[in-house]
Amino acid sequence: MELLAELEKKAKKSQKKIVFPESNDERILKAASIIAKRGIARPVLIGNVAKVVKKAMKLKLDLGKIEIIDHSKAELDVYARDYMSIRAKEGLNFEEAKKIISDPIFFSAMMVHLGKADGVITGATTPTKDTVVPALKILRKNEAFVSSFFVIIWKKQVMFFADCGFNINPNPEQLATIAMQTALSAKSFGIEPKIAMLSFSTQGSGKHEMADKVIKATEIAKKKNPKLIIDGEMQFDAAFVTEINKLKYKNSLTKGKANVLIFPDLNSGNIGYKIAERMGGAIAIGPILQGLAKPMNDLSRGCSVEDIVDLAIITAIQAQK
């Protein structure tokens, strides 16, 4: 919680404009009201103005400081031409582009691309792909590799879990990239990364191609960045418990105090973060996309109002960089 308090202070300094396309969801409205009241960022709601105001009044929310944009009445022609330019290789005609941009999530991504806002938060009512597709089509920088991570706050520990929301079965090179990207993200939040490349095996205790993938990914990451504090392949207990680390892992760099956990695939990553959140009582913020030119982040459909506020803090910090 201390980390979030510090990040909130940083977010308040820049007053970034964060767009929320799902103004039909009451959690979004409540969160936007809190974000504006606490001065975390400047929320922008996308939707029919009359309907948004009516719903806010029913919920007894103050939206006085919050901008509401009806995307159906906005500069769709301008946005559509820009989108045609971005996606020129798709050969879209004007009407096709305009139809795509009329979707509130695509519209929000275009706002950020055109500098009319600084970040997007969506996903409270839609699956992850509805966030990822516009992000990749509009905000991806030079076809860069994109991955995701969660900030996990458990008791007094802050950890980073990746990739738990995007890449289904990364190959060794991609897994190494995820580790390096997440290490940089941890540093951006003031955390010195200690990386554990997770597996069912620790230093060859299990023989299988799934473990081999993690071993190779660790080697690639070490070669590309020799200064990384990284161990792998290793089981979670060896990454997390000092005494077990001493027993299982020779010459460990993390010494059982890993704070960046890299999962071998989306199955294990998604299951792992939800166990930490639902059974362990951890706060899970994300998935947070990394590798984009500008921030666009996803919410779990089971998110709370506080989850949305927390992600707004993270998104505002990302936008500063």
Interatomic CA distance for residues 283 and 28, integer angstroms: 18
Q: Looking at the whole model, is its pTM more than 0.85?
A: no
Tell me, what's the pLDDT at 240? 93
User: Residue 28 corresponds to which tokens in the numbers above?
Assistant: 């979004």
2-143+297-320 topology per CATH: Rossmann fold (3.40.50)
pLDDT tens-place string over residues 70-122: 988 878 888 999 998 888 888 888 899 899 999 999 999 999 999 999 999 99
CATH 3.30.70.1290 holds for 147-278: no
Tell me, what's the pLDDT at 193? 97
Tell me, what's the pLDDT at 34? 94
Within 10 Å of residue 130's Cβ, how many Cβ atoms? 18
pLDDT tens-place string over residues 162-214: 999 889 999 999 999 999 999 999 998 888 999 999 999 998 888 899 999 99
User: Given a cut of 90, is residue 276 above it in pLDDT?
Assistant: yes
Write down the mean pLDDT value for the chain. Answer: 91
pLDDT band of 155, cuts 50, 70, 90: confident
In terms of Cβ atoms closer than 10 Å to its own Cβ (0-12, 13-18, 19+), residue 209 is: exposed
pLDDT tens-place string over residues 288-300: 999 899 999 988 8
User: Given a cut of 80, is residue 321 above it in pLDDT?
Assistant: no
pLDDT tens-place string over residues 52-75: 999 999 999 988 889 999 988 878
State whether residue 146 is helix, strand or coil. Answer: coil
User: Given a cut of 90, is residue 132 above it in pLDDT?
Assistant: no
Interatomic CA distance for residues 311 and 300, integer angstroms: 11
Interatomic CA distance for residues 121 and 131, integer angstroms: 9
Share of the chain above pLDDT 90, in %: 69
User: Given a cut of 90, is residue 305 above it in pLDDT?
Assistant: yes
- With beta carbons less than 8 A apart as the criterion, state whether 122 and 20 touch: yes
Contacts of 42 (CB under 8 A, 6+ apart): 15, 16, 17, 18, 36, 65, 67
User: Given a cut of 70, is residue 1 above it in pLDDT?
Assistant: no
User: Given a cut of 80, is residue 246 above it in pLDDT?
Assistant: yes
Helix (H) or strand (E) holding 216: helix 209-224
User: Given a cut of 90, is residue 309 above it in pLDDT?
Assistant: yes
Each domain of the chain, given as residue ranges in start order, spans: 2-143+297-320, 147-278
147-278 has the same fold as 2-143+297-320: yes
